[in-house]
Chains A and B, each alone.
Chain A
């Protein structure tokens, strides 16, 4: 097998959030353009990669999908180490998954790099008739914590690509603006992220367009 080394940067990204919000399907939609109504629950962690191009650079995203259940936290939290980005996912039709976001942020504070770029993702945007979390609420939450945010539907393939692209470009921008002394560190599996604390960036492209 050949090693596909044709990328400029390797970014490790984690997908976190309550069980059942659609993390695995966001990942399969982004990396393989697949959606599965009966996808099996994730046991432990799973992994996929995809390369994108931004600012003329090829970025390989190494995305770790984690199990949402509390019991797996001990196993999954180890994977936050070295991650430069996180998609923090809730389900717009399940209020409790939004209420648990604070706990997920705490998980990141406890286990991830303090400079990790986080994007809030309200998934299952297609379930409009069942909406239990308002767009304004999500925006307020994102602003309060300095996160970018977006609503997606893995089912309808809306905004999935955009969510990942925005996260990856933001990581890239922060990284290149910060004069990384050793850009090569982004090429191994545990990149040493050295960027400034993330700025709130919700307004323009906006949460919930």
Chain B
């Protein structure tokens, strides 16, 4: 898999490559993965949405099957909505647990704002409430956990931008018909479901998936930046403390939203075993990026710095550098027999 980043001047060439692939009667998923790994063209919202939906198993790769495939998925979602959400609209959530989940979701929806005004829009808030509530009922082992609201937002934005054929920051919710929003809702629900299936154990009792990732991160940093590792140890800063949110929200809280979308191009394109093992390498590279500063800080300075990393001005370029380095790091670890195996 290539990890070379693209530059602005190649954009249209990049879009062309995607178009060529996506217009074949049967899309070659391996080739699509490879292409998406290096990022979808920013100027072409439909390409990104199609690629994401296809690699997440929502949009069939065989052109002829796409209309019927989508139709079926949309009907399935409609059915879930009738079964699970209708009682809510009738103000009668079934049982205490569902009521508590709904309360939590309703608390978090006004607090879900990845920097885009559309999440203040009532239609989007309702759409998000349904997606999260239904997902929660369908995944009772974890149920809704704070942070999953954040993870739903890239899907809503990418799909909506595609439906309205505009850039994410240009989305006008009032211009969307009910049918458009229903299509976005169903698509976002299925994409989120598939995406989260890789990290289900992040959100079950005790959050074992997160604990494992943190342990792995500690190992990697220990091996490649012993000085930083020792310094963090000395200051008593636990890896769980510094990286919990990175794992729980997949770095979504750490970057400007456009960078998150770019990051997720690669996560969604990661090969079959899923993105979760790669994510830890990205986190390791991201942590080590700050190593010179971190090594000068005491415990409290570290805590405050890590909570609000100065990434506000980051662009895709910085993300692509991270990804390229993480790719190299992962290959190194996997090829060397002395190194630990993932999981």
State the A residues within 8 Å of B (CB).
Answer: 1, 3, 19-20, 37-49, 62, 67, 69, 71-72, 74-75, 96, 189
B245 lies within 8 A of chain A by Cβ = yes
B26 lies within 8 A of chain A by Cβ = no
A interface: dominant SS = loop
Question: A41 contacts B113, CB within 8 Å?
Answer: no
10 nearest CB pairs, A to B: A20-B107, A44-B244, A43-B245, A47-B303, A71-B145, A41-B146, A41-B111, A69-B146, A43-B248, A74-B206
Q: How far is the CB of A110 from chain B (nearest CB, A)?
A: 16
Q: How far is the CB of B96 from chain A (nearest CB, A)?
A: 11
Number of A-B contacts (CB under 8 A): 72
**Which of B37-45, B294-302, B328-336 contacts its partner?**
B294-302
Within B90-119, the residues touching A (CB, 8 Å) are: 103-104, 107-108, 110-113
B interface: dominant SS = helix
- Find B245's partner among A3, A38, A44 (CB 8 Å cutoff): A44
Question: A75 contacts B236, CB within 8 Å?
Answer: no
- In the bound complex, residues from chain A placing their C-beta under 8 Å from that of B245 are 43-44
Q: Given the known inter-chain contacts A39-B111, A47-B307, A75-B207, please indicate yes or no for A69 contacting B253, CB distance below 8 A.
A: no
| Complex CA distance for A67 and B205, rounded to whole angstroms | 15
Question: A75 contacts B146, CB within 8 Å?
Answer: no
Most buried by B among A43, A74, A75: A43
| Complex CA distance for A41 and B112, rounded to whole angstroms | 8
Question: B244 contacts A43, CB within 8 Å?
Answer: yes
- Find A19's partner among B104, B207, B307 (CB 8 Å cutoff): B104
Q: Given the known inter-chain contacts A39-B111, A67-B146, A74-B207, please indicate yes or no for A44 contacting B307, CB distance below 8 A.
A: no
- In the bound complex, residues from chain B placing their C-beta under 8 Å from that of A41 are 107-108, 111, 146-147, 149
Question: A72 contacts B304, CB within 8 Å?
Answer: no
| Complex CA distance for A199 and B121, rounded to whole angstroms | 49
Q: List 8 A-B contacts (CB under 8 A).
A: A41-B108, A43-B146, A43-B248, A69-B104, A69-B146, A71-B142, A75-B207, A189-B236
